[in-house]
Every structure is written in structure tokens, then in C-alpha cells.
Amino acid sequence: MIHIYQIPKARSNGYCFGGGNPIAFLNVDWLDTPDDGVSKNQLSDFIRGKNYFTNAPIGTRFLVLCDEEEFTFQIVKEVK
């Protein structure tokens, strides 16, 4: 399973010694694990075509999490 989160612009400041500081990530999508033969680039292109990505302001960051390490990465909206 793949989960896609929008990373908040405001994150905790300073060090997080003693247990950390909670921040809220927005879960924007979830997908089944890709079939064999699907590359990270293909998955990234698919996500870039989704409304939550295309409608996001420039600079918005998304975290893609998967049990398969090759499909865990970050995408940044860089252009309109």
C-alpha cells in the first residue's frame, strides 16, 4: 500500500529532544502497491497528474510512503 501525504509548510522549530513535537500531515491519497515493472518515475508522473498535486501551490511538498523502499520518496510542486 502507498500513502501520499502533503507535508505542512509550518514545521516545528528547534530540536525535538525529549519526545518530539507533533505536526499534522494531510493524507491526500492512497494506492495499491504498484505492479511489477512499474518504476518510481512512472509512479511519480502518475501522482503529478492528480488534482491534489496540480492544484497545489508551487513549493508544496508531498511524501510518498510505501512498504517497498524504492517507492518511498518526496515530490515537490515546482511549476504550474
Q: Per residue in 61-76, pLDDT tens?
A: 999 999 989 999 999 9
In a domain, 34, yes or no: yes
In a domain, 17, yes or no: no
Domain count, the chain: 1
Q: Residue 30 is part of which domain span?
A: 2-9+24-76
User: At which residue does the C-alpha cell 491534489 appear?
Assistant: 52
Q: Which helix (H) or strand (E) holds 26?
A: strand 26-31
Task: Give me the half-sphere count of Cα atoms (radius 13 Å) on the Cβ side of residue 2.
Answer: 22
When pLDDT is averaged across residues 55-65 and rounded to a whole number, the result is: 96
In a domain, 53, yes or no: yes
Alpha-carbon 15 to chain mean position: 23
In a domain, 19, yes or no: no
In a domain, 15, yes or no: no
* pLDDT tens-digit readout, 2-38: 999 999 987 777 677 777 777 889 999 999 998 889 9
In a domain, 30, yes or no: yes
